[in-house]
Structure 1
């Protein structure tokens, strides 16, 4: 880790978790069954308010971290009909109706924009959309982040308690936000899309992908940043575990797509310091899984729009028009006109791999990358 990376992480206030947030998030994390009961109680209180709300064509953005999912979420969230989780919903994510009423009444609310933890130029406020529903998934399902067990939830899974809670939670969030369509971003949904499709047959999925050399460079950069930040701020590790973000940092864990041998091999490479090979095998494994599922499940393929990061930054207007057409959100023209000029390729880093490292990445990821239309791309 370079001194510059360590200094950047140490200076990034996003790694500093306040005592209040640490205490309340710990209370939520340690007592999930209590919060499930409280969420169900809230649903009864909000019954009149959400009685007529229907969940129609929910939108799920899912993909490996650093693939452009945040850009897509923020763009979708800018539509008047969209209802998303926001930073203000944390820590008591299970009770959005009551908590947001409290936040609205609380004095001294601050809406100051700060750069998010990733140090990637994206500024956020309490009103910015964010991925928090993982806390709910973890409360209802064991083993979601255990590398020794499959993390796949397919179309054969049934958990009535979760499904009812999840539907009610979405309806409450739609009411709180004043929208009509639920929009979610969660990287871990990549192994749950078929389960979600069984719950919501009209769901729309958006799957961002990225050229593996650039993608892996970004993943390695983020992992170093998070390791440095968490080392200086122990509460940050607990925060990441509580919200269910294991993509980077001192408790990094790969998604187990059902291939136990490959998952352990990836972890061993990371543990031994073979970052590039580990990430390359992870990229290949996850994208092979996704391509396979869309071949096997035609309904999933039809419901899923693949958005290649390179296409998005090369022609944002065209790609965003395809995005809104796929998810069936009308009247997005002015939003596209406003957002498209702000989307561009990253100018704050470039891959620093040598020729041998690039060749290693290409060799490992070549077949999986071709399944998403990638041939060798120059760096």
Structure 2
């Protein structure tokens, strides 16, 4: 799935080379490193910011927040971008990084800074999606990692279920969302964070009216995209140590030299996936990872009726084949009205990816189909 941010941005992309795409400036590296090394101080600073912003945010209610989650490369970015076009939407943007913990202070500073001409560039993923500092993006993972330090430990369950309680996080998170709603001038918080897939029940306990959007994709094509991205990120990070640190600080472990699978509560499965990758069995590792994660998702939707009712599963192939109807389903599910102009603008831009095709041999295709078959059938494949 691909798409454009605006017609002007789409007409004026600036392509980067692999090395440039993974370049992290000295300023970003210094400040993001400072934040990563001292998360508790930044939590305190965020709480202080909330006190300063109290008059501006005290009447803001968090109603039906929207969370787009799922395994990377399933179409989550275009879903976020489409939802972010709505006048009521409030999202994180690229401009919010690095000081994600203090959006109120930082955005006031950014608004005062001199503005240069913004030129859209293709994002690091090299997938045809062009971005500017105003583009929506996923950055809240930095906050989750500050409060839950185990979330990317492959030897420990990364699941946060409905029984979890962390009052300090929950208050900080609510205040953070209210500040973003105020800053963006919207009414509804929209988030894309792939790792939320194992936290949906916790989120539902915090926000009982939350809406979840869960993109899924045929495992053969999905794994082809994942493998392509991993190879791209590994090559880009090899001579860019700052890029590796950046990925770790923002909680982006899907690809690259520090790739880690989500532990869905089965440490043995996570270790086996890591072993496949360590032994050079890339396709086997991806296939078992796809199967494990999608079994977990299907299980949770089966046993938790409230979660099922709050979740819209969007199959990538259905989205490509009939984008207008799928976008209607999307906006209806999240309860964002008057979306017809957005649908009419976005639907014609949706098409199957043209920048790669699976290059698996027959044995690899058979392996993927065999390992993922049962989980795939649970989503209609």
> TM class, shorter-chain normalised?
over 0.9
In the alignment, which of 236, 249, 264 is matched to residue 242 of structure 1?
Answer: 249
Is structure 2 residue 67 aligned with structure 1 residue 95?
no
Q: Residues 62 and 188 of structure 2 are in contact (CA less than 8 Å); yes or no, is this contact kept in structure 1? A: yes
Q: Residues 104 and 183 of structure 2 are in contact (CA less than 8 Å); yes or no, is this contact kept in structure 1? A: yes
Tell me the SS of whatever aligns to 1:208.
strand
Is structure 2 residue 114 aligned with structure 1 residue 107?
yes
Q: Residues 10 and 229 of structure 1 are in contact (CA less than 8 Å); yes or no, is this contact kept in structure 2? A: no
Is structure 2 residue 59 aligned with structure 1 residue 40?
no
Match of 2:92 in 1: 85
Query: Can you list the C-alpha shifts for 1:256-293, whole angstroms capped at 9, x where unaligned?
Result: 00011110000000001100010000000000000000
Post-superposition shift, 1:234? 1.0
In the alignment, which of 68, 73, 78 is matched to residue 75 of structure 2?
Answer: 68
Tell me the SS of whatever aligns to 2:107.
helix
Distance 1:329 1:35 in 2: 33
Post-superposition shift, 1:9? 8.7
Match of 1:214 in 2: 221
Post-superposition shift, 1:355? 1.4
Post-superposition shift, 1:148? 0.5
Is structure 2 residue 183 aligned with structure 1 residue 176?
yes
Distance 1:11 1:181 in 2: 36
Is structure 2 residue 199 aligned with structure 1 residue 199?
no
In the alignment, which of 103, 118, 124 is matched to residue 131 of structure 2?
Answer: 124
Match runs of 1:339-378 below 5 Å: 339-374=346-381
Query: Can you list the C-alpha shifts for 1:93-142, whole angstroms capped at 9, x where unaligned?
Result: 00001100000001144422111010001000000000000000000012
Match of 1:277 in 2: 284
Q: Residues 10 and 232 of structure 1 are in contact (CA less than 8 Å); yes or no, is this contact kept in structure 2? A: no
Distance 2:104 2:149 in 1: 26
Match of 2:18 in 1: 11
TM value normalised by structure 2:
0.95
Larger mean CA deviation between 133-142 and 107-116 belongs to: 107-116
Tell me the SS of whatever aligns to 1:223.
helix
Distance 1:12 1:130 in 2: 22
Tell me the SS of whatever aligns to 1:182.
strand
Post-superposition shift, 1:51? 1.2
Is structure 2 residue 302 aligned with structure 1 residue 295?
yes
Tell me the SS of whatever aligns to 2:165.
coil
Is structure 2 residue 290 aligned with structure 1 residue 309?
no
Post-superposition shift, 1:304? 0.2
Tell me the SS of whatever aligns to 1:216.
helix
Runs of 4+ in 1 over 4 A off after TM superposition: none
In the alignment, which of 226, 231, 253 is matched to residue 224 of structure 1?
Answer: 231
In the alignment, which of 328, 333, 336 is matched to residue 326 of structure 1?
Answer: 333
The CA RMSD over aligned residues, in Å, is 1.0
Q: Unaligned 5+ residue runs, structure 2? A: 1-14
Post-superposition shift, 1:10? 5.4
Distance 2:32 2:21 in 1: 16
Tell me the SS of whatever aligns to 1:256.
coil
Query: How many residue pairs were aligned?
Result: 367
In the alignment, which of 56, 62, 67 is matched to residue 63 of structure 2?
Answer: 56
Q: Residues 16 and 122 of structure 2 are in contact (CA less than 8 Å); yes or no, is this contact kept in structure 1? A: no
Q: Unaligned 5+ residue runs, structure 1? A: 1-7, 375-379
Q: Residues 16 and 121 of structure 2 are in contact (CA less than 8 Å); yes or no, is this contact kept in structure 1? A: no
Distance 2:115 2:102 in 1: 22
Is structure 2 residue 174 aligned with structure 1 residue 185?
no
Query: Can you list the C-alpha shifts for 1:29-86, whole angstroms capped at 9, x where unaligned?
Result: 1110010000000000000100110000000000000000001000000100000000
Distance 1:232 1:342 in 2: 35
Tell me the SS of whatever aligns to 2:136.
coil
Post-superposition shift, 1:356? 1.3
Distance 2:120 2:16 in 1: 18
